[in-house]
Amino acid sequence: MGRIFGTDGVRGVANGELTAELTLDLSVAAAHVLAEAGAFRHADGHRPRAVVGRDTRISGQFLEAAVVAGLASAGVDVLLLGVVPTPGVAYLTAALDADLGVMISASHNPMPDNGIKFLARGGVKLDDAIELAIEERLREPWDRPTGGAVGRVEEYAAAVDDYARHLVSTLTRPLTRTADGRPIRVVLDCAHGAASQAGPLALSDAGAEVIAINDSPDGLNINDGCGSTHLERVQAAVLEHGADVGFALDGDADRCLAVDHAGTVVDGDQLLAVLALAMRDAGTLANNTVVATVMSNLGFVNAMKSHGIGVRQTKVGDRYVLEAMNAVGYTLGGEQSGHVIMRHHATTGDGLLTALHVLARMAETERGLGELAGVMTRLPQVLVNVDGVDKSRTDEDHLVAAAVAEAEAELGETGRILLRPSGTEPLVRVMVEAGTSEQARTVAERLAAVVRARLAL
């Protein structure tokens, strides 16, 4: 059997790869591994406790039941949070002093998919070693508790309110324009997902005028033509309602993208740039450095440099961003896709937290998002996926290396090249940034042809 855990928990087609049986077994194994690793407290009669949340997928109901069955049968008490965003589960794992958090979601994936994500005490992601240990302990024989030693299960009805209250508490001012005292008008695309209730509640409680769209989940419509992967909905709504700004969340609301008052897209790099300057001005940007990935646009790096802010770049994936942040104590990091981590307030990417603090910057400066995002100029970026190749040889072939070196010399300081083997598919990604779209496309296709010829299977 190959690895079960991916870069963000366990995912697959619900009732296909991700069955109730596998989910139950994973929950039992997680309870055993974490208990033996000393992650569960037993002092003063404390019983191990887990919090469990889910997004709006209909499959989340039977998977939730499987998680509960596994944990309770292993002697873990369970608090059911209901439908709540992934960062809400992370927050409540810490706030409710739970030993374990579980989120049932496949984020931005299509509705038939689902996933299981485990969080350790404090609401942090499990280490790779712990995930591997859980896989190795699947379906092993074990001594089952009986009688009063089995876990209790309760509903925790205040989950959404607690999480929304926490989000609002991170702000220092209401979301109104100083000039006329008018609330900032915001369109929020909830993707028919986990933030359909928490999102409008948090933004309105913070003082914004909220126009919520795609906030009527029916178990089947999550991410369906809406949310952060389909920005045309929020663009149209911003123009229709004359809103100041729009935000689009994904299914579990751990990331967001935005559009300004004119409907122009503002991506994760630009949101990160806005927040970096806000935190620098507030004195909360640790080491005057922001963490991003190697896929962040060169325009972002150049903009930060021009404002005296350092950029630490990591491999693609929010877990690598978080690792770098934790290692040094950085307070801001994120990805172009809209995962933004504000370490003072959250242990993971949080789309609503990002939106609130971007709105706070708009209120503080009395400037629109388009103007604020103008701090960086995006370089044209072209990505070509080259399939049918031996990706393991990407860094070994001397002719590929020579072609890259020649292209880098051609671009000079006005562009950038990245060749990256895919982590999940037999292909190599060729990314080129340049001063013009035409130049970026020409160089990318030329390099892709070399990769295809030299690394063909």
List alpha helices for 74-197, DSSP H.
86-95, 128-136, 159-169
- pLDDT on residue 395: 85
Q: What angle do CA 134, 138, 140 make, to 5 degrees?
A: 120
Q: Is 107 a catalytic residue?
A: yes
- 8: confidence class by pLDDT, cuts 50, 70, 90: confident
The reported pLDDT for the residue numbered 6 is 83
Query: Same domain, yes or no, for 151 and 179?
Result: no
255 and 298 both lie in a single domain? yes
Domain boundary among 344, 373, 402: 373
For 273-284, the pLDDT digits (tens) are 999 999 999 999
> Is 60 exceeded by the pLDDT of residue 1?
no
Range of the domain at 44: 10-157
Does one domain contain both 182 and 323? yes
Question: What pLDDT score does 37 carry?
Answer: 85
Find all residues with CB under 8 Å of 217, minimum gap 6, and list them: 56, 83, 192, 193, 196
Same domain, yes or no: 300 and 409: no
Task: Tell me how far apart the alpha carbons of residues 329 and 347 are, in angstroms, rounded to a whole number.
Answer: 12
Contact 287, 308 (CB under 8 A): no
At 418, which helix (H) or strand (E)?
strand 416-421
pLDDT tens for each residue of 434-446: 989 999 999 999 9
Q: Are residues 142 and 176 in the same domain?
A: no
Find out whether 254 is annotated in a ligand binding site.
yes
CA-based end-to-end distance of the chain: 25
Whether 1 maps to a domain, the answer reads no
- Which of the residues 27, 59, 105, 107 is marked catalytic? 107
Residue 191 lies in a domain: yes
Q: Whole-angstrom Cα distance, residue 203 to residue 210?
A: 7
Residues 65 and 185 in one domain: no
- Does residue 184 sit in the same domain as residue 145? no
107 is in an annotated binding site: yes
Same domain, 365 and 390: no
Is residue 188 situated within a structural domain? yes
Residue 5 lies in a domain: no
Q: 224 a known binding residue? A: no
**Final residue in a domain of this structure, among 317, 339, 373:** 373
Residues 276 and 258 grouped into a single domain: yes
pLDDT higher than threshold 80 for residue 220: yes
State whether residue 416 is helix, strand or coil: strand
The answer to whether residues 329 and 257 belong to one domain is yes
CA proximity to 93, closest of 58, 118, 66: 118
Same domain, 404 and 428: yes
Rounded distance, CA 369 to CA 244, Å? Answer: 8
- pLDDT tens for residues 344-388? 999 999 999 999 999 999 999 999 999 999 999 999 989 999 998
Residues 115 and 177 in one domain: no
Q: What is the CA radius of gyration of the chain?
A: 23
Predicted pLDDT of residue 112: 95
- Overall number of domains in the chain: 3
Q: What is the pTM of this model?
A: 0.91
Q: Would residue 3 count as lying in a domain?
A: no
CATH of the domain at 182: 3.40.120.10
Where is the domain boundary, 337, 353, 373? 373
pLDDT band for position 161 (cuts 50, 70, 90): very high
- DSSP codes joined into one string, 294-354: TTS-HHHHHHHHHTT-EEEEE-SSHHHHHHHHHHHT--EEE-TTS-EEETTT-SS--HHHH
CATH number at residue 435: 3.30.310.50
Q: Cα(232)–Cα(216) distance, rounded to whole angstroms?
A: 18
Select the more confidently predicted residue: 6 or 152: 152
